[in-house]
Amino acid sequence: MNLIKLVFQRLIRKKDFYAIISFYALSFYIIYIARDFRVIPGVPRAQNPGFYPLLLAGLLIVLTTGYLLQTVKKTLGEIDDREKKPVPGGDIETEEESEESFWGKSTALTRKKLLIAVGMVYLYLYLLRWLGFFSSSFLFLVVMTRVLFAEQKISIRKIALLTLAITVVIFIIFDFLIGIRFPDGILF
């Protein structure tokens, strides 16, 4: 029991632990949203709107579990190494933990963009069932392009035209060529 507590204490100090929690949260959120997509009667399961989000969420859960096991194994190895070589003065942090914070050497702008991007993904998944694929994808791509390329002073007209073209191409490929229906909303 003491070893489990020690591993958990070391694990919560690692950046990997917070990435794992984020991946699990994203997976379960995708499952929560995708399970409400309508099922089209008489259409193969793979052509229903919720099939691929659920498939990708399941794959993300499996890969995240592998990542968690790998991180726990690495943490156990670090604990074993410290027990073999006792350090006078007690337990000290590793170089990685003592020199860098959770965000590493990132700038405030990078952190802001990352948090906006993560928030936009959650908002996009939420709006997908209300606005439909076309409208929510267009809005998502406009905002993300504007946020990520703010320093390059791209006109909103160019961004809107580019994202409209991308959304139309994706819609045509999946809806007409492959036959996978996207969720319909109140707009498109």
For residues 97 and 17, which has the higher predicted lDDT (pLDDT)? 17
- Segments making up each domain of the chain, as ranges: 1-100, 106-188
Question: Other C-beta atoms within 10 Å of 173: how many?
Answer: 11
Residue 165 has pLDDT above 90, yes or no: yes
Long-range contacts, 166-175 (Cβ 8 Å, 24+): 166/141, 167/134, 167/137, 167/138, 167/141, 170/137, 171/133, 171/134
Cα 180 from Cα 182, distance rounded (Å)? 7
- The pLDDT value recorded for residue 82 is 64
Report the SS3 class of residue 184: strand
Residue 186 has pLDDT above 80, yes or no: no
Q: What is the pTM for the complete model shown? A: 0.54
Output the six-digit token pair for 34: 């995708």
- The pLDDT value recorded for residue 89 is 53
Paired with 184 in beta bridges are 132
Paired with 126 in beta bridges are none
Per-residue b or e along 99-130, where b marks 16 or more CB atoms closer than 10 Å to that residue's CB? eeeeeeeeeeeeeebeeeeeebeeebbebbbe
Cα 110 from Cα 180, distance rounded (Å)? 36
Alpha helices in 49-150 (DSSP H): 51-84, 95-99, 108-131, 133-148
Cα 86 from Cα 109, distance rounded (Å)? 41
For residues 29 and 103, which has the higher predicted lDDT (pLDDT)? 29
